């Protein structure tokens, strides 16, 4: 097996994703010693009764990811959880430099990284059980960007922002 870099995550959720995010953070803590993967920061409410708007959570997490990557930390990623994963993904993908994907199966989690070079993983608490979400996180972490023809496609996506401005 080839070298797999340690991945560090800025994580966040709205009130609809708190419980699942808690379970995923616990999983990181359990993996910590063996893998080195870590949570760098958490954004969002500590309890599900504290209502917040998911766009502000997604923006903050993505800004942290981009800030750390600009400082040379290529191993920094984002993990966002809301009720479906859709809202945080739509918000995240408005931010230039972010490639966020919602996944609900292992193959999609792998391909988000391997083919699309996703730097933010989005999950939905109301559509995934904790066990499946943990599996999806592992699949995302264990995948590597393949480059090659996929690098050209990722560049085509990035060019949309340059051509059409933010939010394209």
- 118: tokens are 């996703």
What phi and psi, each to the nearest 5 degrees, are found at residue 100?
-105, 140
139 neighbors 104 (Cβ within 8 angstroms)? no
Q: Find out whether 42 is annotated in a ligand binding site.
A: no
Determine what percent of the chain is predicted with pLDDT higher than 90. Answer: 67
Rounded to an integer, what distance in angstroms lies between the CA atom of residue 58 and that of residue 61?
5
Report the chain's mean pLDDT, rounded to a whole number.
88
Q: Is 15 annotated as a binding residue?
A: yes
Residue 37 annotated among the catalytic residues of the structure:
no
> Which residue(s) pair with 42 in the sheet?
11
63 annotated ligand-binding residue: no
d(CA 100, CA 78): 9
Instruction: Respond yes or no: is residue 62 known to be catalytic.
Output: no
Question: Is 126's pLDDT higher than 90?
Answer: yes
**For residues 14 and 153, which has the higher predicted lDDT (pLDDT)?**
14
Give the mean model confidence (pLDDT) for residues 108-136.
Answer: 95
Predicted confidence (pLDDT) at residue 4 exceeds the cutoff of 80: no
- Catalytic member of 37, 62, 82, 122: 82
Show the domains of the chain with their CATH numbers.
8-164 (3.40.1400.10)
Which pLDDT score, from 0 to 100, does residue 1 have?
39
């Amino acid at each position: 097996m080839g070298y797999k870099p340690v991945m560090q995550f800025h994580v966040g959720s709205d009130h609809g994703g708190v419980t699942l995010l808690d379970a995923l953070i616990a999983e990181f803590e359990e993996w910590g010693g063996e893998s080195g993967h870590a949570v760098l920061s958490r954004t969002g409410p500590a309890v599900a009764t504290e209502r917040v708007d998911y766009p502000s959570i997604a923006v903050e997490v993505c800004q942290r990811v981009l800030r750390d990557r600009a400082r040379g930390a290529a191993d920094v990623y984002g993990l966002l959880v809301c009720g479906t994963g859709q809202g945080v993904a739509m918000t995240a993908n408005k931010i230039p430099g972010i490639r966020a994907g919602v996944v609900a199966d292992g193959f999609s989690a792998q391909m988000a990284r391997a083919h699309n070079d996703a730097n933010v993983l989005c999950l939905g608490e109301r559509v995934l059980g904790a066990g499946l979400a943990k599996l999806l996180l592992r699949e995302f972490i264990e995948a590597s960007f393949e480059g090659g023809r996929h690098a050209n496609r990722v560049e085509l996506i990035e060019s949309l922002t340059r051509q059409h401005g933010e939010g394209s």
